[in-house]
Amino acid sequence: MTAPLENIRVLDMSRVLAGPWAAQLLGDYGADVIKVERPGVGDDTRHWGPPWLGGDKGESAYFLSTNRNKRSITINIAEAAGQQLVRELALKADVLIENFKVGTLQRYGLGPAELHAANPALIYCSISAFGQTGPRAHEAGYDAMIQASAGLMSVTGPPPEVPGGPQKVGVAISDIMAGMYASTAILAALNARRSSGVGQHIDVPLYDSQVAWLANQSMNFLIGGKAPGRMGTAHPNLVPYQSFQTRDGDLMLAVGNDRQFQTVCTVVELPELAGDDRYATMKGRIANRETLIPLLAARFLERNSGEWLELLRAGGVPVGPINDIAEVLGNQHAADRQLVRHIANGAGDDVPTVANPVSFSDTPVQYEYAPPLLGEHTDEVLREWLSYSDAQIESLRKNHAV
């Protein structure tokens, strides 16, 4: 085996981000991922630019970020012939991923019950805003409103007394995390199928996913009974764990235990703080952060970021600069770790892509396909998966099914 999922076929009927992110991960791990798109239009994100690769007629950066290691086929599911084509492809697939509005695919006879009846081994993964059941199931939703309504924005942004208000995360993290949950659920279902021989329907809501990964913030409420609020870069359970302004910029300090705090006190030449009963323990520092943080903040203003980073790192204290993305993708660590890879697409363009962070010792991540051109592989997939003839494919085109 050259890739962990090289024997798995995935029909990716999703678009935008959560579903495509899940499918891209499966493709990275070697699955044969077929991206089903609307003829002439494609995934919504193909039009979400600038910037564009190769100018205004090229591919949007947004689309390129989440569709590598896939082949694109166009199918018009509004046509009966297109619906039949999806059914035939689903018979050959191990996994189907979709994020249509709840009930849409059922109206076309392409819901989980219908396709599972035809292919009992199929794993059918549905991603939606609020899940397949419940009073909100039929509501649409995008990442930003999920970040807001599912709690994330209540703990993101400056404290209430500081101007700025609630803020969303700078990437569509609710979508991405739903995609991550979906991919792990699919892998679990594939493993379950090894024993049972049958697939199942997976329901992944953005809202529930967002609630789930609030992690310690949710548990702080469940145990403490008080809803967490916005704290800027500070941490509710660790002190000092936040950004500090220096003479020439900012740094992020992440103290996770009392020993590290003692080292910080030595480095900033405030050793008396380490022996102060108010600050010696994490419990004490949390209770007395309002008096501790100003003392540290004043001291950090006395030197440049580079000096503090060198001194704190030498003492084993977790600390880092606040880098922009140009620095992150252009520094020596990125080069050493090959965080940016390059793949040629079907038009001959060089497509940069941010590497999958996982490294397998024996079955490496694949970078076989650049994000595909719209419908680039339609004929190829129909011949390969369904053994269609040229005449059959041409008939589908005449009937506007592909």
Residues 251, 186 share a domain? no
In a domain, 45, yes or no: yes
End-of-domain residue from the set 263, 295, 322: 322
In a domain, 329, yes or no: no
pLDDT at 398: 92
pLDDT at 128: 96
In a domain, 328, yes or no: no
In a domain, 1, yes or no: no
Residues 367, 273 share a domain? no
Residues 184, 47 share a domain? yes
**pTM score:** 0.93
Give the count of domains, the chain: 2
Residues 146, 209 share a domain? yes
pLDDT at 1: 67
What is the mean pLDDT, run by run of 10 residues, along the chain of 402 residues? 92 97 98 97 94 88 97 97 97 98 95 97 97 92 93 95 93 97 98 97 97 96 96 96 97 97 97 96 97 97 97 96 96 96 93 96 94 96 96 93 94
Domain at 36, CATH number? 3.40.50.10540
- Domain range enclosing 134: 9-213+336-398
End-of-domain residue from the set 322, 351, 379: 322
Contact 373, 72 (CB under 8 A): yes
End-of-domain residue from the set 298, 322, 346: 322
Q: Which residues are catalytic?
A: 175
Residues 199, 172 share a domain? yes
Residues 176, 111 share a domain? yes
